[in-house]
A and B are shown apart, each in its own frame.
Chain A
């Protein structure tokens, strides 16, 4: 499974869009991009995933570049409750999740 690279930390003003980038330059054709988040020390929570098309759900949007080497998770109107560590994971047809250290997002009032 491909490795991912994320910034260590980011800040975002409350009410603004939070854009979290992820690089996965070694992604292969059958691998999906998944995003999870972990609020404080709670269990990680699934946010969204995609293969090559942009995806949107009630929590976030996922933008994947055309070459699929990078993606951006967008939280359209960040709130204080979105303060968390966000993990970008690339995964093919296995259950082998590899969690890196993620991006620590701090939403500022």
Chain B
């Protein structure tokens, strides 16, 4: 089954304790992206990657890092989490714009609480 898998689904941590949220897709997609969703603000893009070793900032990249060493994986790293990073996070992937019609497939989400 084609899917985007995020782990963990729920995470409670404390300020300053480094964490990684993993994202994996099995569709051989080039494009992957991370979003955060906060009440009243919709989904905002954090980082995206056009292909292996190619990443770029989205709209709200501060406090986050990403890497794309393999095509299928796109982990989100919070080096020193702070309470304002408490949010619902989504990973998404898409194939080539023309072939995949620019349709994004989303993971189930990771709910992060930073105390």
List residues of A whose CB falls within 8 A of some B CB.
32, 34, 36, 41-46, 49, 87, 91, 93-97, 99-102
Q: A41-B109, A42-B109 are in contact. Are A101 and B42 (CB under 8 A)?
A: yes
4 nearest CB pairs, A to B: A43-B106, A99-B43, A99-B42, A101-B42
Q: Add 7 more A-B contacts to A46-B105, A99-B42 (CB < 8 A).
A: A34-B102, A41-B37, A43-B106, A43-B107, A43-B109, A95-B33, A95-B102
Q: How far is the CA of A36 from the CA of B77 in the complex (A)?
A: 27
Q: Within the assembled complex, what's the spacing in Å between the Cα atoms of A41 and B37? A: 9
Task: Take A43-B109, A102-B42 as given contacts and tell me if A97 and B103 are in contact as well, using a CB distance cutoff of 8 Å.
Answer: no
Q: Interface majority SS on B: helix, strand, loop or mixed?
A: strand
Say how far A97's CB is from chain B's closest CB, in angstroms.
Answer: 6
Name A41's contact: one of B50, B88, B105 (CB within 8 Å): B88
By secondary structure, the A interface counts as: loop
Asked if B106 contacts A49 (CB within 8 A), the reply is no
Can you sample 6 A-B contacts with CB below 8 Å?
A36-B104, A49-B102, A91-B102, A95-B48, A95-B102, A99-B43
Chain A CB within 8 A of B4 CB:
yes
Most A-side CB within 10 Å, residue of B48, B102, B106: B102
A100 to B43, CA, bound (A): 7
Which one, B48, B50, B106, contacts A44 given CB within 8 A?
B106
B22: interface (CB < 8 Å)? no
